[in-house]
Structure 1
């Protein structure tokens, strides 16, 4: 009897998990890059700490593609320099508030 109950509950749990996965909608927004213009001169870093290497300096008014908002301080961004795309991290304060 215990084996049948265990089997029944495990089968019910698996069915509810698969049904929930099919009907739920994702709350994450679409991750396509969004173009922004910088408001101040900023640096594109290869990481998110003070020891990260600087990839390039982005001038004021330059277009940057923001790919993801990583945390409270940084965004993942892509910049084109000399025809070559560079991907790294920039401070959020480089962009206007929206």
Structure 2
């Protein structure tokens, strides 16, 4: 009887572990870009440094879709310019603190 209870308990623990890992994976996969308005004029770069090529300049108050927070300084962003979407990197300081 004790072995049977131990087996049931072990199976329950394994099932809960697999369910937890599935939910964390699906919540990350369902991330969608979040719209923010810039607070200052900023530049959309093609890389994560000031030496990277400039894709466009984003004016103050323009809407930018932030796709991912890449590191402490940059976010991956998408901007629409002349009806064409541009994806690149912007400094975090372009956006209001939240």
TM above 0.5? yes
TM bin (shorter chain):
0.7 to 0.9
Match of 2:24, SS state, is coil
The question of 1:97 aligning with 2:59 is answered no
Which segments of 5 or more consecutive residues in structure 1 lack a partner in the other structure?
Answer: 1-15
| Root-mean-square deviation (Å) | 2.3
Question: Which residue of the other structure, out of 8, 18, 21, is the alignment partner of 1:21?
Answer: 18
Q: Supply the distance in 2 between the matched residues of 1:62 and 1:23 (Cα, whole angstroms).
A: 39
Report the TM-score, using the length of structure 2 for normalisation.
0.75
Cα deviation for residue 51 of structure 1 reads: 1.9
Q: Hey, which bits of structure 1, 4+ residues long, moved more than 6 A?
A: none
The offset of 1:66, in angstroms, is 0.4
By percentage of residues, which structure has more helix? 2
